[in-house]
Amino acid sequence: MEKDIELTLNERIDDLNLDGLKVIQNTEYFCFGTDSVLLANFVVSNSSNNSIIDFCSGSGVISLIISKKKKYNKIFSVELQNEMYDLLEKNIKYNELKEIIIPVKADIKDIKKIRQKLIDNTKNGTADIIVCNPPYKKKGTGITNMQDVKYIARHEVMCNLEDVFKSSCELLNTKGKLYLVHKPERLVDLIEVARRYRLEAKRIRFVQPYANLKPSIVLLEYVKDGNNEVIVEKPLIEYNKDGSYTDEFLSIYKEEK
């Protein structure tokens, strides 16, 4: 591993327990959670020719996990905020993934800049897969956090659902796939807005903390120019009645704590 990384105030190194991967995080900013791990594992990529874009990459944890668990050609991690982009670059360097993960400092709406990065590194201006853990909260809702980095990561200040779908439509090739994690209460928007941009929901899976509680997050797979048939998979339950993790949850999550 690269050991010449200088940590700044409030930065720490966490072990992902996945093939030696470690992630540098800043406790003052937005640290990754279960949703990022589950989304990375929800992605289906079986070809070493696939180009993958990670929208709203943050510190790059989704890109890191995908780099060890899926097949791909290149992974393009797109992040706008300076603070999070610095962490992204550190994590790529620390894990010696500079030949695999390409950091892109850009707004996800900057199609021209992202496309040029794709062309420069793959000779192709479109991607096979896009994965995104976007801000969940609508602008002006919830408790306003005066720490801008956190507020922007959680609220639709710099990008909203329509931005995600519009940019995905422009950057995906035909039959390319978008993978998204979000809140179940936004499900109508997650289906209706996507259809405006030729993205058809094909797989939906709800994640519930306990079997008797409502879902806390939803995972979705979209196909560009796909047909209108959708598979709703059985819910993923996180905890047994006694508070221990379910076997299925552990099978997904145990390697990335």
**Residue 177 is part of a domain; what is its CATH number?**
3.40.50.150
Q: Is residue 27 part of a domain?
A: yes
Q: Is the pLDDT of residue 251 over 50?
A: yes
Q: Is the pLDDT of residue 239 over 50?
A: yes
Please give the tally of structural domains in the chain: 1
Q: Is the pLDDT of residue 114 over 80?
A: yes
Q: Is residue 105 part of a domain?
A: yes
Per-residue confidence at 2, pLDDT binned at 50, 70, 90? very low
Q: Residue 256: its pLDDT value, please?
A: 52
Q: Is residue 4 part of a domain?
A: no
Name the average pLDDT for the chain. Answer: 90
Q: Residue 155: its pLDDT value, please?
A: 42
Per-residue confidence at 252, pLDDT binned at 50, 70, 90? confident
Among 9-13, 50-54, 159-163, the range with the most confident prediction by mean pLDDT is 50-54
Q: Is the pLDDT of residue 105 over 50?
A: yes
Answer with the residue of higher pLDDT: 137 or 130: 130
Q: Is residue 137 part of a domain?
A: yes
Q: Is the pLDDT of residue 200 over 90?
A: yes
Q: What is the dihedral of CA 42, 14, 59, 179, to 10 degrees?
A: 0
Q: Residue 24: its pLDDT value, please?
A: 94
Q: Is the pLDDT of residue 135 over 90?
A: no
Q: Residue 255: its pLDDT value, please?
A: 54
Q: What percent of the chain has pLDDT over 70?
A: 88
- Average pLDDT, stretch 39-49? 97
Per-residue confidence at 3, pLDDT binned at 50, 70, 90? low
Q: Is the pLDDT of residue 159 over 90?
A: no
Q: Is residue 5 part of a domain?
A: no
Q: Is residue 2 part of a domain?
A: no
Q: Is the pLDDT of residue 149 over 60?
A: no
- Average pLDDT, stretch 229-235? 96
CA atoms within 13 A on the CB side of 168: 35
Q: Is the pLDDT of residue 137 over 70?
A: no
Q: Is residue 1 part of a domain?
A: no
Q: Which residues constitute the domain of residue 89?
A: 11-253
Answer with the residue of higher pLDDT: 192 or 159: 192
- Average pLDDT, stretch 65-78? 97
Per-residue confidence at 27, pLDDT binned at 50, 70, 90? confident
Q: Is residue 30 part of a domain?
A: yes
